[in-house]
Amino acid sequence: MNKKQKMIKMTAKRAKARLNKHTPPTIKKYVSKAERAENLAKLEAEELAAQSTTEAEVSIDANDVDTTPAG
């Protein structure tokens, strides 16, 4: 490899390194078992809260209905 080819190779390597520096990493961060369990517990708590609010709304609607006969 002559001197000009080496220079071209080095500039290409530098350009590639510059591009790699600015792209976000594609490898996801490791999530430990404890973090996974914590996230799952939060998700379940949110779902439970959502269910309880919808059940409360249904019970409120049922209490608002007048069941006495008109007359």
Tens-of-pLDDT digits for all 71 residues of the chain? 799 999 999 999 999 888 877 666 677 788 899 999 999 999 999 999 888 877 777 666 666 656 666 65
14 inside domain: no
Domain residues for the domain of 53 are 32-59
Structure-token match 């490791």, residue found: 30
Total of domains in the chain: 1
The span from the CA of 49 to the CA of 42, in Å, is 10
16 inside domain: no
pTM score, whole prediction: 0.40
Q: What is the per-residue pLDDT for 61?
A: 63
20 inside domain: no
66 inside domain: no
The span from the CA of 11 to the CA of 42, in Å, is 50
The span from the CA of 32 to the CA of 44, in Å, is 18
